[in-house]
Chain A
Amino acid sequence: MALSNVLEPAVSGFNFENSTRNTVLENGSEEGKIKAPKPMKTGTTIAGVVYKDGVVLGADTRATSEEVVADKMCAKIHYIAPNIYCCGAGTAADTEKTTDMLSSNLTIFSMNSGRNPRVVMAVNILQDMLFRYRGMIGAHLILGGVDCTGSHLYTVGPYGSMDKVPYLAMGSGKLPAMGILEDRFKGNMDLEEAKALVSDAIHAGIMSDLGSGNNTDLCVITKEGVDYIRPHRESLYNYKRQAKYKYKPGTTPVLTKTVNQLELVHETVQMMETAGSS
């Protein structure tokens, strides 16, 4: 007797079977054209700089959904490990989940080996994953951290490319930010100089790029620890409204009102095992 159903093993990676159907739907006839939902992109400026004692990372805090600002205070500097942080540009969901996954993997490694993770490990894990997904995961990341081999700054692109650099900017505002970095970067800066440089680079991105804006976050990573400054520089634009727009109760018209009395039909009590009880 033949089995009526066969268990299919889960296939890893993305399933591209629907790509043909999606293209046909999107480019279909005039009446039948269907617009695919657009993912929320962060439209960002992120930057990082290696200085004398460690790494300074910076990011703006605006998340846009095409032309509308979706979040005015989103956090783009993600925690990976106690000594490694990652700034993410690109699709918001992709950067969040990729960095979360990376962080979990590195925590498991730390527990297994009893050592702090190294920045190269984080970069290799990211590269493997992003290359496997062939650029479908829109995550443009800047990884910075300090480990036993020194301070490192890497960038990982959505297709899996990697670059190790002393200073870097990514996102839609990277060109204005890169201008500032190219002008003022020098090796072995001290802390205040490095913080001012990254902050000004992000500020240039915020002013010149429409996809970046609002506040600037900074993250300083050294051998001793991490200083996550959120926000480092607040947006100067706090224009007050001239009137109060409040509505008194009774402003919204009530059309109908139905009240359903809930009847108590049956009551059961179940004892739960808790840690405190014997």
Chain B
Amino acid sequence: MMISSRVFGDNGKVKEYHYTGPVEHKFSPYAFNGGTVLAVAGEDFALVASDTRLSEGYSIHSRDSPKCYKLTDTTVIGCSGFHGDCLTLTKIIEARLKMYKHSNNKNMTSGAIAAMLSTILYGKRFFPYYVYNIIGGLDEEGRGARDTYKAGGSASAMLQPLLDNQIGFKNMENVEQVPLTLEKAVQLVKDVFISAAERDVYTGDALKICIITKEGVREEIVPLRKD
């Protein structure tokens, strides 16, 4: 009995085994533009790092599109996912920051920004912003959060376990648990992104690290694999 293999697929459409990467059948309002973000905080610093590659399918749109956005002198946000929503979301946050400054005559604190972002995102609960957000910053007294870290975006599943091990000292015994310093955190972030670029196709080109201390926000750019 000969069964034609081409008849199957949704709505009787022919299923093509194409070579152009992910295949879309219906109109989807979202696209996945790749990118990885990472935030680490210590006693008196916070840093937010992201790669700078913007991709779609198997192509590269831009090699210089960083995903960390500076909000105030003490807060940086990292957004990855659908680039259209990242841009709109950061515009909305910046507008809300200005409104707060004009009505309350002071800058928003990191905690307040995080709470506000939560309500903004939930406001679109039924047509969400396709964005992975991580906010890194210092509080009003210039303190960070001791030994906290979070990875988001396409290579997050590769970065998070290593950070759990190196910063959180998980799954290890008989190891001296030293508190995290800024130099160690920067070195760890660089190494971890080099590894992520080796194995994740959406991560690469360059790494931008925004370092937040009580002096302000400082940037460092490190090259990554371009292939």
Measured CB to CB, the residues of A under 8 A from B are: 16-17, 19-20, 23, 27, 43, 62, 64, 67-69, 72, 89-90, 134-136, 138, 140, 158, 171-174, 206-214, 235, 237, 239, 241-243, 245, 247-248, 250-253
Contacts and interface: CB of A to CB of B under 8 A. Distances in A.
Interface in B166-181: 166, 171-175
A90 B195 CA distance: 26
B5 interface: yes
Question: What DSSP secondary structure best describes chain B's contact surface?
Answer: loop
B173 A250 contact: yes
Given A210-B58, A214-B227, A237-B226, A248 B194 contact: no
A242 B21 CA distance: 34
B17 A69 contact: no
Contacts of B200: 67-69
B220 to A, nearest CB: 13
Nearest first, the 6 A-B pairs at minimum CB distance are: A213-B227, A237-B225, A210-B201, A16-B3, A241-B191, A23-B8
A209 B58 CA distance: 6
A119 B17 CA distance: 27
B141 interface: no
B95 interface: no
B28 interface: no
A250 B10 contact: no
Given A135-B5, A252-B172, 4 more contacts: A158-B17, A208-B60, A245-B166, A251-B172
B227 A212 contact: yes
Contacts of B58: 43, 172-173, 209-211
B225 A250 contact: no
Given A172-B19, A239-B194, A247-B172, A16 B60 contact: no
Contact of B173 (A16, A27, A72, A251): A251
A253 B174 CA distance: 9
Nearest to A69: B199
Nearest to B173: A253
Nearest to A254: B173
B20 A210 contact: no
B132 to A, nearest CB: 15
Nearest to B17: A138
B198 A136 contact: no
Interface string B4-37: 0100111000000101110000000000000000
Contacts of A248: 174
Interface size class of B (residues with CB under 8 A): 35 or more
Interface of B: 3, 5, 8-10, 17, 19-21, 55, 58-60, 154, 166, 171-175, 187-188, 190-191, 194-195, 197-202, 223-227
B3 A239 contact: no
A117 to B, nearest CB: 29
A243 to B, nearest CB: 6
A235 B197 CA distance: 13
Nearest to A170: B19
Contacts of B198: 69, 72
Nearest to B3: A16
Contacts of A67: 154, 200-202
A242 B191 contact: yes
Given A19-B3, A67-B201, A209-B58, A243 B187 contact: yes
Contacts of B8: 19-20, 23
Nearest to A159: B17
A136 B17 CA distance: 9
Contacts of A208: 59-60
A250 B175 CA distance: 9
B99 to A, nearest CB: 39
Nearest to B10: A27
A62 B198 CA distance: 10
